[in-house]
Structure formats: structure tokens, C-alpha cells
Amino acid sequence: MKKVLYSFLWLATVGGFLFLTSCGEDSEDPAPGGSITLSTADGAISGDTLLAAPGAEVKIAASLGATSTETISVVTNNSSVVSVPSTNTITSGDTITVTIGASASLGDEATLTFSADGINEQLIIEVGFNTVVDAALATPNLSILVAALQEAELVTTLQGGGPFTVFAPTDAAFTALLTQLGVTAEELLARDDLEDILLYHVVAAEAGAVLSGDLTDNQIIATRNGDFDLLASVDGSTVMINGATVVTPDITTGNGVVHIIDEVLLPQTVAEYEAVLLEAPLGDRTSKTFFNSKNGMTYTVQEVIDGNDISSADIDFGYYYGQTNEASIASPNDYPTNIQDLTSSGANWSALNATTFRTTNLTLDDFNAIGAADAARLVQEYEVVTEDPTGEINNLAAGELYSFRTVDNRYGIIRILEITPGDGANGEIEIEVKVTN
């Protein structure tokens, strides 16, 4: 077994990493022809194996001892995975630069054989990444995540021993978030809670490296954020974390695993709005029929048309009392036009949000126990139900509970408190809402 003595320091830079290495020294140099000692600054050799990313150039030092000037030849058993220069000999103590195939797949291996004076030393190079940060750097559509990690000074942390599990949002996911929040990338990276947001994407230390196959449906996952949990939803080969889909699972590295997801996960608290009164609609558009779950306020059709501090994009659902359906709640997208026409032929709302509803198995005690930090529970109560979501719930009764999801991926529970039957000025429903924000 060869001796590989090295230490290395990782320094984060915008364009990549600067590696500093110093090889340790034995008490006395091995005699020429005794053994070949290998070392590298471009990663960590574990046993006889070195992880290296696709397309990387790796410098490997080979030595027969400090005083040796013998020639060492280097060959590969798989040039499509690892290629060596056409001039494949070096003088003892020098380095040779080998290239990992740009199209090599993660997990591919090639064996390098270093030979001198009848002595052979082998090094297995496995295509992979030393750290979760290396994996992010090597993935073009994770550039905004990398910039955020650098801004939050988390690069060094995630280059540590781990093991880490990271849910990594794509650049497209971050771009969608910028649009949703109405901020620039610079403003996002300047947020005081940027570190908290990023650590919400990293699984708690005690869980270690979690492969997608380790996750179970409706599993609550603790995060390194410390205050907020995630929820895994598993349906066959489809894995979702909160509302985000895992698009590329199980990128394994030397210190953990990366799963690429299509949405940015924001730590969410639970807001509670009690005794919200929604009146059944009047023909003159002046009853407070519609509900905004961001602020717990009710609005009339006319207030939304007028657009004073409210827009149709802010309305999540409305109430009506029908002859057949009786007490009913519907999303603007599914609101009956014969009750109140919100389309271009009627009120002409610019957005008709498609909020969806599901039943829930929650008890009243369960509902009352949901606190400000239990956002994952609200997600779970919506996702756990296998029935198809619907844009309208009918024949409501006091005491019933329903879960809902908004178009901007907020989750909530509606509790029906009291119903006064009938439409017009005297008909109303009283509800309590708990919703992520």
C-alpha cells in the first residue's frame, strides 16, 4: 500500500477554487526503485481512489524519493474516461496532468498505472465530485445558487466533512422567485435571511447523506435551518420536496449528495386569520365576497376592479350560496359566472387564480395544534390526500376542515365556523384560516 501524505486548503473564488497543497515528508526518503508515492492538490485521494469531475484537468505528482531522477511512465486503461498526454513520462518528483472525459458519466472509473524500473503503482480515478460545492460549480444551471452560497459565506461550510444533503434549485427556479418577489438578483443576495434560506435547503446533520430512494411519502425532514422542516412526497419515481420536484436526484459526492429541484424553497411560517366573514354576493358587486390569504382580508368585486391596494392576482377564493350547492367556496378560476361573472365578459379581472382544495383528515385538536413553525404540516395535509384537487367545494357545514393550495404555492387549512344560509345581504360564512406565508 502506498503512502499518500498531503494536506490541502480550499479557497472559494468567483470562477472556481484555488488549491494549495503541501506534501508531508517521511523520516527518510524511499530508495529509488522502492515505491512510488502519489499525491495531488486537485482533490483528496482516499485509499487508492481519487474523485474527479467530468472535464477536469488533474495534476498528479509521482515520486521515487527526493533524490531520484528516474523516469516514470503513466498509462490509462480507459482513455475515454481518463486520458494522459501523448508524452506520458515524467521525471520522479514532477507532475503529470491527466484529463477527465467531458462526457464521462458519474461513477465511471479508469485506472492509471505509474511504472518505473519494474515497480508499478495504481491509482483509480472515479468520475465524481469531492464536495457538494464542486457538484454545484460543475453544473451550469446552478450558477445563482453558487453565487448565493458565496454571498452567504457557506462555501467553506459545505466543503467540510459532512455528510451533507443539498436540495439545489436551478437558475430557472431562482429567476421565477425573483419575478414572484418582484426583486432583482442583487436584492435577493442582499437579504438578511439569505443564509437561513440556503440552510433550509440542507438536511439536518444527523440525517447525513439522504438518497432519493431513502425518502418516504409524507416524511418530515429536519433542516440545518433549525426552525423549519421540509416535507417529502413520493409517488413512484417522482419525488417532491414541499412543492418542488426533484428533477435530477442523487448526485453523490465525497462529502454528501445533491438533488437538483425546480423551485426555491422558502422557510415559511403559518399565519392565522380568525373569524373572517365572507358575505354572499350581491348583484351590485359591493359585498365582501372574496378572500386574500396573504393578508386575511375580504374584498368586493368592485374593490378588485378599482385596484386600490388590491388586484385580482391577490384573490385566492370566494364564497357563494347556491340553490343546489348551497354554501360553497370556489377559486376565481372556477367561480360560477351565473353568480358573479369575473371573466372578460363580466368584471374583467386580469387574473383568475386557480386555487385548489382537498379534504383533510385533520381533527379540530390537530388544527388547533398547528403553530407558526408548522408550515410543513400544512403542506403535508394537502399532499397526503390522493384524491384529485378541485377548484370548488360545496355543501359546506360548520365544523368541517379543508386544505388548499394557492397558485403561488402557499398551503392552508380552512375551518368552517358558522354559516348563515341564503344569498344577498343576509347570507354569510364565518371561517378560520391557517396558511403559510
* Mean pLDDT lowest among 21-35, 39-53, 80-94: 21-35
Q: How far apart, in Å, do the first and last CA atoms of the chain sit? A: 57
Which 8-state DSSP code applies to residue 86?
S
Residue 1 included in any domain:
no
Supply the pLDDT for residue 228: 83
Give Cα 393 to chain centroid, integer Å. 32
Whether residues 241 and 323 share a domain: the answer is no
Whether residues 99 and 197 share a domain: the answer is no
> Which of 75, 101, 127 is the endpoint of a domain?
127
Whether residues 197 and 283 share a domain: the answer is no
Whether residues 274 and 388 share a domain: the answer is yes
Strand partners, 278: 429
Distance CA 402, CA 381 (A): 9
Supply the pLDDT for residue 420: 92
We report the CATH number of the domain holding residue 211 as 2.30.180.10
pLDDT-derived band of residue 424, with 50, 70 and 90 as boundaries? low
287-303 pLDDT, tens digit each:
899 999 999 999 999 99
Distance CA 387, CA 391 (A): 13
Whether residues 331 and 423 share a domain: the answer is yes
How many CA atoms lie less than 13 Å away from 234 in the CB half-sphere? 14
Whether residues 300 and 427 share a domain: the answer is yes
Whether residues 253 and 326 share a domain: the answer is no
Supply the pLDDT for residue 214: 92
Q: Which domain holds residue 275?
A: 270-436
What average pLDDT does the structure give for the chain? 86
pLDDT-derived band of residue 4, with 50, 70 and 90 as boundaries? very low
Supply the pLDDT for residue 331: 98
Whether pLDDT at 33 is above 60: no
Q: Across 13-150, where does the E strand assignment appear?
A: 17-23, 37-40, 45-46, 49-52, 57-63, 71-76, 82-83, 89-91, 95-100, 109-116, 119-127
Q: Are 86 and 96 in contact (CB under 8 A)?
A: no
176 by DSSP, 3-state: which?
A: helix
Residue 47 included in any domain:
yes
Looking at residues 189-215, what average pLDDT do you find? 91
The total of structural domains in the chain comes to 3
> Which of 208, 243, 261 is the endpoint of a domain?
261
pTM assigned to the model: 0.61
Whether residues 286 and 214 share a domain: the answer is no
Supply the pLDDT for residue 207: 86
pLDDT-derived band of residue 425, with 50, 70 and 90 as boundaries? low
Distance CA 154, CA 148 (A): 9
Supply the pLDDT for residue 412: 96
Whether residues 45 and 67 share a domain: the answer is yes
Whether residues 251 and 159 share a domain: the answer is yes
Whether residues 256 and 151 share a domain: the answer is yes
Whether pLDDT at 230 is above 70: yes
pLDDT-derived band of residue 91, with 50, 70 and 90 as boundaries? very high
Supply the pLDDT for residue 109: 95
Helices (H) and strands (E) counted in the chain, each on its own, are 9, 28
Between 268 and 359, the more confident residue is 359
